[in-house]
Structure 1
C-alpha cells in the first residue's frame, strides 16, 4: 500500500486480479454525525440496520438504487438480494474486478460464470480500513465515519474527527514503509479493506485470510464529477444508496451552477498549471482531470488541445516558450511566498504571472504534519474546487466566494 504522501505526489505528477471466493458478513446500525439514515429504506422483512430478518426469494432488498452517470471506472447492477459492482481498472494496468454486495441476512449468491471467484461482501458493512485520505470525506458526507477502523498512515489526515479517532486509538494505522502490514490487517478483521487504486503485495494474503479487498480507483476518473460519484460506490458498501445519491446530486447541481457563471464571465483566461517535479514539468493533456476543471472554470492553457490520457513530460524551456505570458499560474506545491517559488528555480521569475503576483497554490488548508485538505476533501467536492478556480480566474463571477483550497502566493 502506498503511503498517503505518495498518493499526493502521484496526483500532482499525473494529475490485482480477482482472488478466490470470499464471504464477509456484517450488519451495521452505526451512524456518524450528519447521517440522514443508517442504511437503505427498510422493506418488508428487513430491519432498520439493513439486515434481513425474514428472507423471501424474489423480494427486492434494494429499494434505493444508485445510477452512475459520470464515472467510467465502476458500475452497479442490481438483483433482488445483491448487487454486482464492477471496477474496470482497479489499478493501472490491472484487469477488471467484480464484487458481489449481498444484503445482510440473505443467502450468499451462487457465483458462477463471470462472477466465479468474485469477492462476496455482506452489506451494510460495519468496519472498513481505508487506503487513502480521499475515502474519508466520502464516509463523512454519508455520516459513516464510525465504520472507519484503520488508515494506512494518519500523518496526512486533515479531517478533525478522524484525527481525533486516530489519537484516541479508535482508528489504527496499518501500513509502514509504504506497504500494508498484512498481519495487522488480518488480526483486526475489518469487513473490507478499501484500496487507493494501486496494487500491493499484501492484498492476496489479506484476501486469502477471508477479508475483502475492494478497489477504490476514483483517481483514474478524468471527469471531476466522475471522481465525486464514487460516493455511490461507498454508499453501496454502507447501505446508503439514497443518501449517496442525495449528496452527489447536490454536488452536481452546485458544480454546474458554478460552471455556468464562469461561462458567462467573459473571455477565457490563460492559465499555467503545475510546476517542475523531479526535473520535468508534468503538463496535463486536454482530456485529463485538471484540464476539465480549467475548461469548466472558463480558462484555457497552452496544451488544452492535446488529446491523450496521460500527462505531457516537458522541460521548463518548453513551458516558457508556450506559456510565458499566461495570466494566472495555478500550482500544486506547498509554497508560502514568491521568494520560495523563485528559490526553487530562478527561471520561474520569467513568467508573467509571477512578475504580476498572480500565482496561486492549493495549500490554503494544510496541517502541521503536511496533510492537505485539497488532496483529501477536494476529490469529493469538485464543486468547491471549481468555485475556487472561478474566483481566481473571474473574481467578479463569484464576488462573495471565500476560498476553500487555494491561496494567493504573495511576497
Structure 2
C-alpha cells in the first residue's frame, strides 16, 4: 500500500457442514423472536441486531462510495446443530465465539487487544506495519504469521492457518485473494472503521468486534470510558479565548493535500478549539491545492500539522525549499504524527489513534493550548526534529 494510505491500511476456515451452500433445505428460525439492536451513538457505518440466538451485523460503508453493503450472521457454536440458515441470505456466516481469526488492518488490533482476544489472531498482511508491543511479541513468537500484502494475500498460508473468519479491509471490491479464499469456504467480513468521519465514530467500531467473542458488555464499557475522556478534554477548551490558526498536510509531487473541513482531522481541530484554515470546506477527505494557494492562506499559520511523512526540518527543507516560507517552519511549530513508530517502522498513530481519539485530542490541546494540560506527554503528535 502507498504511504498515502498507510493509515488506513491492513488484514478462517469456518468449516461448518450445516452452513453448506449445496442447496439443502434450511430449517427456519422460530418466528417468535425477541429482537434488539445495539445502540450506536456515533458510528454510522454498521448496525447490529439480535434476533434470538442470531446476531446480524450489517456493514453499510465498507469503503467510500460503495454501492451496497454486506450482511453477516453470527451464530453461537452451541446452537449449530439446531439452527441452520440459507447461505444465500448472508454474505458470511460465522460461529461464535471465534477462536481463530485473520485480520487485515492495524486499526483492528487495538480493539481486539482491549477486548482481551488478541490471542485469536493467527495471520496479518505485512506484519512490519504493526506497532503494538503485545502483537509484536506474538509475531516474534510465531503466533501471528506474515501473509504478504492485503492486495495480494498469500492464500496458501491462509489456508494452512485455517481461520474461521477473515476481517477484511478494502478500498473497493476487487481483491481477488478474498474471492479465492471465500470460494475455499472461509468467510470474509469487511470492516469499514476507516470510513467513519468522526473521532468517536471510529472508536465505536470496537462494538463491531464484540459479538464475534460475546464481549458486548466489555466493548460498551471500554467505549464509554473513551467517550467520557474525550468529552472531558473537549470541555477543557471551552475556556479558550484565542484560537491559534492551523495549517495541515504537505506536498505530494506538485499537489498539497490539506484536511477537508468535514474530515476526521478537522473535527479534532474543531474540538481542540483551533482556527483551522480550511474548516469551512465541505470535503470529508483531503483537498488538493497548489503550493501557491496554500502559501496565500497558510503562510502565517501559528501551527502546522502532518507535513506529509517528514519527521525533521531538514527533511522538509530538502523535500521543497518553499517550506521555509511558512512561519510555522521558522518558529519551529511543526508537529507530525509520523515521528513515533513501532519497532519495525509501523506508524503508531494509524494503528491506535482511531481507537483512542481521546488521546489524539489531548495531544492537540497540549500543543495548541499548553496551559490547559501543562504536564501532559503527547502520545502521537511530536515536534519535528
> TM exceeds 0.5?
yes
Q: How many Å apart are 1:365 and its aligned residue?
A: 2.4
User: Quick check: 1:263–1:298 contact (8 Å CA) kept in 2?
Assistant: yes
The separation in 2 between residues aligned to 1:315 and 1:13, in whole angstroms, is 25
Aligned to 1:70: 42
TM-score for the superposition, normalised by structure 1: 0.83
Aligned to 1:10: 5
1:322 paired to 2:317: no
1:91 paired to 2:63: yes
1:297 paired to 2:292: no
Q: How many Å apart are 1:335 and its aligned residue?
A: 3.2
User: Quick check: 2:311–2:339 contact (8 Å CA) kept in 1?
Assistant: no
The separation in 2 between residues aligned to 1:236 and 1:274, in whole angstroms, is 37
User: Quick check: 2:123–2:144 contact (8 Å CA) kept in 1?
Assistant: yes
Pair 1:175–1:205, CA change in 2 (3 A): same
Q: How many Å apart are 1:349 and its aligned residue?
A: 0.7
The separation in 1 between residues aligned to 2:334 and 2:252, in whole angstroms, is 17
Q: How many Å apart are 1:337 and its aligned residue?
A: 2.6
Aligned to 1:41: none
- Show structure 1 runs of 4+ deviating over 4 A: 11-14, 22-25, 56-63
- For residues 228-253 of structure 1, the C-alpha deviation after alignment (integer angstroms, 9 at most, x for no partner) is 11100011212100001111110011
Alignment of 1:217-256 (within 5 A): 217-256=192-231
Alignment match of 1:403 (pick from 371, 378, 385): 378
The separation in 2 between residues aligned to 1:262 and 1:177, in whole angstroms, is 40
Q: How many Å apart are 1:363 and its aligned residue?
A: 3.3
User: Quick check: 2:299–2:326 contact (8 Å CA) kept in 1?
Assistant: yes
- For residues 307-347 of structure 1, the C-alpha deviation after alignment (integer angstroms, 9 at most, x for no partner) is 13332111111111111111000115443432221111110
Moved more, 257-266 or 374-383: 257-266
1:207 paired to 2:202: no
Alignment match of 1:343 (pick from 305, 308, 318): 318
1:267 paired to 2:242: yes
The separation in 2 between residues aligned to 1:178 and 1:133, in whole angstroms, is 15
Aligned to 2:20: none
1:102 paired to 2:75: yes
Aligned to 2:114: 141
The separation in 2 between residues aligned to 1:190 and 1:320, in whole angstroms, is 51
Aligned to 1:46: none
Pair 1:293–1:78, CA change in 2 (3 A): same
Pairwise CA RMSD of aligned residues?
2.6
Aligned to 2:26: none
The separation in 2 between residues aligned to 1:408 and 1:60, in whole angstroms, is 56
User: Quick check: 1:192–1:211 contact (8 Å CA) kept in 2?
Assistant: yes
- For residues 200-226 of structure 1, the C-alpha deviation after alignment (integer angstroms, 9 at most, x for no partner) is 111111111111111111111001111
Pair 1:23–1:190, CA change in 2 (3 A): closer
The separation in 2 between residues aligned to 1:58 and 1:12, in whole angstroms, is 44
Alignment of 1:184-203 (within 5 A): 184-198=157-171, 199=173, 200-203=175-178
1:169 paired to 2:164: no
SS at match of 1:276: strand
Alignment gaps of 5+ in structure 1:
15-21, 26-55
